[in-house]
Each structure stands twice: as C-alpha cells, then as structure tokens.
Chains A and B, each alone.
Chain A
Amino acid sequence: MFAFEIQPVRSRNWEIEEEEDQEVVSIEIPKPIITFNKDKSEFDNNDTPLNIIVSTKGSPSIFVKACFESNQFDDIADISYSDIKSLKTNVSTNSVLNNKCTVYRHKIEKSMIFITVQYDLPSERCFGFAELVLNTFKNVSQVIVLDKLLNSHYLSHDYRHPIPPFTRAIFNSFFKNNYSLTPLESSNIIENLSASFLTICQVRNIPACSVLSLYESHLNLESIQSFMPIVKSIYPQLFNNSLSLKQEDITSQFKLMINALNKRNDKGMYM
C-alpha cells in the first residue's frame, strides 16, 4: 500500500527542468566567530587538560547559569554569528533569554570551560560550531554536552510515557561510564550540537558524553534539577569549593529563570 511515494508534478519538458536546476544558487553556511574578552594566547599553547561543558538553549543553560554564573565564572569569550542578534535583558536572571553564546572559565577550577549556547543553532551550523570550539581550545580531555529532550519526541518502548525528572545519556567509545548513566534507547536519536560534538570527539579520540534531560512544553524544576546529580558525580569539585552556592540559593535561581523562560514562551496565549 505504501510501496511508492507520490512525487510532485514536474514539467514534461526536460530542457526547462535542466534550466531550473542550473538556476539553483548555493548559499554559504554562516561561520561562527569566537571573540575573546582578554588575551587568548594562553589557550593557544595550553598544556593543561581542559574539560568542556556545553549547554544548549533552555533547561541546560539555566542549570549552568544558576549554579555558577553569579560568582564562579570568568566571562572569557563569546561565540557569535553575523545573522544571530543578541537581545538586551534588564534583569540578571533573564540572561538566559539574551540569545548569546558565552564562554566561561571557572575561577577556581581553571581546567573547566563552560559554553552556554542560548540561541537556536540550526543543524547545518552545529558541525562548524563544534569544530571551532575544539580547534580553539587545545588539549581537551573531555567534553560533556548538556542537552534536552522534548517529552513528545521521546520514543518509549511501552505505553508508560516518562515525566521529568528523566535523563538519558549517549557517549562515544572513549568515554568511561563510571557514573551509572542510563544510555538513550534506540530508536531515539540525538541531533544538532550533541551529535556534532560526539562525532568530532570520536574522530579526535576525545571522550565525550551528551546528557539529555526530558522536558515538557511548560518547563518545570525537575527537568533542570535532574542534571545536578549527574554533573556532581562527574565533576564533584565544582560543588565542593569555597565559592559554591548553597542548594537553596541555586533552587531559587532555577525558579526565577524558569519563570522568565516560561513567561517568554507563553506569549499570553495559555491559561
């Protein structure tokens, strides 16, 4: 019954069809530009192994910013595209809505680099983005991508559909799963930044892992809190240093940022 696809109607004149094909103009994919706030030479000749944590737009970036941004980050660079404009935000908690990609370095754990990607990166640009990051930061020992998975996109094997908190991970062959991460089941797939970082890291023999947290169309606290035990087990030193925030402060930051994001997404249409 579904043995063939219905093709769109085309002209019977092959000369016209050839002309139409010749008129196709290829568009160059915009390239990302990394702009350092200070001198970048220390990264050119870096010997210290670096750990990179990339967080995508939404719940992963909220997690990173709420846990560390207020007092533990040095803002070292921005990664931008010519056609993706940043948005001005007036309140510090609304920085999750600024449509920017900022690169941070931890003040105490100097080997930790955080990249919070707060714009929607189309799939064709993700590979270039990942290449830029790994070409800029030499001697990378591990890459963790914090990503999200929409509940309606998750393919479950039985009728019970999960609700947050719910995490899955996908990692390359060099990553040692000493953290009891549950692998993402097939036939679920990863896309965009997760896929590009894992692919490039596999080629370059760098351990990499993508952690996906299930989220609903209305973002809730559990989707963000589910990153906490995983990041704590992989990098406990991030939560045990002199600048670490208390759990209550982190949770209140989560709530403020979630409200800002939900309010922006809501657009006043839903009640």
Chain B
Amino acid sequence: MSSSRYDRAITVFSPDGHLFQVEYAMEAVRKGTVAVGVRGKDVIVLGVEKKATAKLQDARSIRKIVKLDDHICLTFAGLTADSRVLISKALMECQSYRLTVEDSPSVEYISKFIAGIQQRYTQSGGVRPFGISTLIVGFDTDGTPNLYQTDPSGSYSSWKAAAIGRSSKSVGEFLEKNYTDVSEEESIKLAVRALLEIVESGNKNIEIAVIRNKQPIVLLDEQEIDKLVAVVEAEKEIQKEQEKSEKQQK
C-alpha cells in the first residue's frame, strides 16, 4: 500500500494530502465505547456506554464522564491514558482562567484550548497525536447551552447532537433522523434511544449525565436509567406494532 511510505512520521504529508498518523489516531477513537451528546433547548445530555469491568476491578475508578468545571462536562472515546493527560490539562486551564479573568470559562474557550493541544501534537516530531475525541458540554454565563466535539486532528465544532466512539456512524445517522430541538425529557430519551441502537439494554451498560443551566451536573442513578430504558423500549414496541399494522393495512 502506498500509505506505508508516509504513515510513520506525523510530520509528513502523503502526496494526496493525508496525514496518516492522524487518521490512524481516529481509528483508535473508534475502538472506544460510544458516547453521545444531545443539546436541548434548556438542557444538555451526555450518554455513554459503560465498559464492562473485570470482576476484580473497581468500577468506580473507571469514569468516562468528567466534570471540568461547575458548568462544563467532558466525555471522550479512545485511549484512556491519553484522555487522562488531556483532561488534567483542561482542568488546570479552567482554574487558571478563573484566577486570571475572574470569570468562568466558556464552553467554546475550553473546547478551543483542548483542540489546540491536540493540533500541536500533530505538528511536532517525536510525538504522536492524542488517540481520543471529546464531547465538551455546558452552559455559558448567558444561559446558552453548548455542545462541542474535538478530534485527534485538532479540529473542533459545535453540534446539536453528536456521537463518538465505536459505531458512531450508525448512532450519528440515528440522531440526524430523530433530533428535534425540544424539551428536557425528549432530549434525555433521545440520548438513551441513540445509545440503545448499539448498546445492550440495562442500567449496567449506560451512564447518563444531565446538565441544566445554573444547576449542579446530575449523574442519573441506576434506578432512573432503568426507568428510562423501560420507557424507551415500551415506546419502541408501540412504534413497531404501529408499523406492522400499517404494513398489513396496505
């Protein structure tokens, strides 16, 4: 394959303009469990697939949703160790911003900061790109909800709903078909439905964080997730029955 000449060094472009190490880093992102973000009118929902932990492993030590600041949350997909390094830099930057500017950082600011670090590691010799994509969510001081996605190339953009990690393409297509800019309850159900497209149902496999304006970030507990999953699956069944009867009528 012609890529083999240009895929060893991060600082080398291929003749057709590819940076293969960055593209391989994006493959590493696809090895991580799926994470979904949905931006509603007055709520933002982050949903992640929880990785199955070994029997002897403490599940509480594996966290995929991380609080960067009182009003900003982050989730990621890809190499766990890379996420730890990037998250600590982001945490420091949030605190540094508060000390310097005496105000809370905006979601865009911190997303740009994280994306800037990721980009720097695509343009230096002797280093490799970060093998993670992140979803950064939160409310700005003016009450606007924001959802940003960054990826190993260092690009970042704002989204209404996004998915990263394994099967993110199918989940992304589901979000495109079903997204509407509606209420809190529908946004949470949309995130759960998107996850259930590829994750086996059950509270053990899903984690949901709900961020509301000027309120603490809430991680739903297992009973609440169970109820949500039951409601979503009941709605799915009803929809299936309706489609069946429509087909029979035709």
A271 touches B30 (CB 8 A): no
B169 touches A271 (CB 8 A): no
B212 at interface, CB cutoff 8 A: no
A269 touches B81 (CB 8 A): yes
Q: Mark A135-179, 1 if CB is under 8 A from B, else 0.
A: 000000000000000001100000000010000000000000000
If the complex has contacts A216-B30, A218-B31, are A271 and B80 also in contact, measured as CB distance less than 8 A? yes
The residue of chain A having its C-beta at the shortest distance from the C-beta of B166 within the complex is: A218
If the complex has contacts A2-B15, A216-B166, A271-B33, are A152 and B27 also in contact, measured as CB distance less than 8 A? yes
Bound complex: CA of A152 vs CA of B24, how far in Å? Answer: 9
Instruction: Give the number of chain A interface residues (Cβ < 8 Å).
Output: 15
Instruction: Give the number of chain B interface residues (Cβ < 8 Å).
Output: 25
A185 at interface, CB cutoff 8 A: no
A14 at interface, CB cutoff 8 A: no
Q: Mark A245-271, 1 if CB is under 8 A from B, else 0.
A: 000000000000001000100101111
Residues of chain B lying within 8 A (CB to CB) of residue A217 = 27, 30-31
The residue of chain A having its C-beta at the shortest distance from the C-beta of B35 within the complex is: A271
Q: Which residues 24-40 in B have Cβ within 8 Å of A in the complex?
A: 27-28, 30-33
Checking A153, A163, A220, A271 against B51 with a beta-carbon cut-off of 8 angstroms, the contacting residue is: A271
Residues of chain A lying within 8 A (CB to CB) of residue B51 = 271
Kindly provide the distance from the CB of B55 to the nearest chain A CB, expressed in whole angstroms.
12
If the complex has contacts A2-B15, A271-B51, A271-B64, are A163 and B166 also in contact, measured as CB distance less than 8 A? no
Kindly provide the distance from the CB of B10 to the nearest chain A CB, expressed in whole angstroms.
17
The residue of chain A having its C-beta at the shortest distance from the C-beta of B51 within the complex is: A271
Q: Mark A76-119, 1 if CB is under 8 A from B, else 0.
A: 00000000000000000000000000000000000000000000
Question: Can you add 18 more A-B contacts, CB < 8 Å, to A217-B27, A217-B30?
Answer: A2-B15, A152-B23, A218-B30, A218-B31, A220-B198, A259-B52, A263-B52, A269-B79, A270-B28, A270-B31, A270-B32, A270-B78, A270-B79, A270-B80, A271-B32, A271-B77, A271-B78, A271-B83
